[in-house]
Amino acid sequence: MRAADADGVDADGPVDSGPTTRARAGRPPGIKDVAAAAGVSWKTVSNVVNDTGRVGAATRERVERTIAELGYRPSLAGRQLRRGRTNILALAVPEIDSPYFAALAHAVIVAARDRGYRVFIDETRGDPEAERSVARGFDVRLIDGIVFSPLALSLAEVDGLRGAMPMVLLGERDGGTPPDGRAGQGLGTDHVSIDNVRAAREATRHLLDSGRRRLGFLGAERQEAVRSSTQRLQGFREELDAAGIAVDERWVLPVDEYHRQSGAEAVEGVLARVGEIDGLLCGNDQLALGAMHALRLNGVAVPADVAVVGWDNTEDGRFANPSLTTVAPDVGALAEHAVRRAVAQVEGDAGEPEDAVVAHRLLVRESSRPASSL
């Protein structure tokens, strides 16, 4: 039977159920443990927790006291799933220990938090099967949408695999990014990137304007894929061609990974002929830092002998000696746009997919000072 609270609202009556109502040792208390200890139904506990239904003041106080005594924590995921939304986005990147992707993750978390969303982070390590799982939406209901930077799969492959899960893609597409802000070439998924070809041309032009004419590119990837490196090398070639300078293919240096060690090893492999170049454009800051380390250890001065330019504007580059000239993508704008589009898809007001290009700038520092000033 139900008893009446002091304020006249019907509620469950007290039950002296003793210690058997307490949560069993070894597991956290559940809603039924609270209900048994407070002498009410689980529905009444649910009404108190979710502030729904009519619960008398005395019953509410008793339930809240029992919740505190037992240390009960409501299942937020369960409540959100019942509402059809979790307010959780996933960010899937190749390497979370990469300074660039670490900065991107921070920016995505900030942009999501401003919209009332949390972010789970998944690291694919560029594994094709892991990326296929992401493209399919992880096959779980835990998340509402995904911001995904694939490495092994092309954007078209991801687009072909994905189902109804809201998704925004980061990275490079075949043929570059359409200029009209719409997803083109059959890609039906929102996409955000920087203009890598243009940025590489600007970095190459800077080296030419600084008085260097014998340039190399560090970061050509051995694997066939449309990645950032592909477009950065393309921009490098285009700017040299526009200047009437032939690319010395012996100085298009391949790497297996965009890490410091890879940059150092690539430069160490060509030290015997390093006097043939006076400028080096690197695919990212990590390669550039590795290259500068190898050059310094072997008596090659930067920038007096070889000017070096990196990419991504990582903190290590700002504090290197010499400080590293770098292409700085607007990571905050990239994250903001990606999260905004993901949330718009989740909340049903996204409209047509967009293909956005965020700004970048070239930060000129000590590693590429003009030859005339040295």
Q: What is the CATH number of domain 2-75?
A: 1.10.260.40
Dump pLDDT digits (tens) for 193-235.
999 999 999 999 999 999 999 999 999 976 655 578 899 999 9
Question: In whole numbers, what is the pLDDT of the chain averaged over residues?
Answer: 86
CA distances from 78 to 84, 85, 142 (A): 10, 10, 10
**229, 254 contact by CB (below 8 A):** no
CA distance 215 to 236: 9
Segment 50-77 shows an average pLDDT of: 81
**What residue ranges of the chain are covered by domains with CATH 3.40.50.2300?**
86-193+331-358, 196-329+362-373
pLDDT at 141 over 50: yes
Segment 300-322 mean pLDDT: 97
If one looks up domain 86-193+331-358 in CATH, what number appears? 3.40.50.2300
What is the model's pLDDT at position 9?
44
Longest CA span, the chain: 94
Domain 196-329+362-373 has CATH 3.40.50.2300: yes
Neighbours of 111 (CB within 10 A): 24
CA–CA gap between residue 309 and residue 324 (Å, rounded): 7
pLDDT at 164 over 70: yes
pLDDT at residue 108, rounded to an integer: 97
| Residue 42's pLDDT band (cuts 50, 70, 90) | confident
Residues 150 and 168: beta-carbon distance below 8 Å: no
Q: Can you give the pLDDT at residue 76?
A: 56
Q: Quick one: how far is CA 55 from the chain centroid?
A: 45
Between strands 355-358 and 307-311, the pairing is unpaired
Q: Write down how long the chain is.
A: 374
Which of 79, 4, 70, 76 lies closest to 33, judged by CA?
70
DSSP one-letter code for 98: S
**Could you tell me if 310 and 282 are in contact, meaning their C-beta atoms sit under 8 angstroms apart?**
yes
pTM of this prediction exceeds 0.85: no
Please determine, for residue 72, whether its predicted confidence score (pLDDT) is greater than 90: no
**Percent of the chain at pLDDT exceeding 70:** 84
Is pLDDT of 142 > 70?
A: yes
Asked whether 96 and 121 are in contact (CB, 8 A), the reply is yes
Tokens at 269, concatenated = 């492999």
According to CATH, where is 1.10.260.40 located in the chain? 2-75
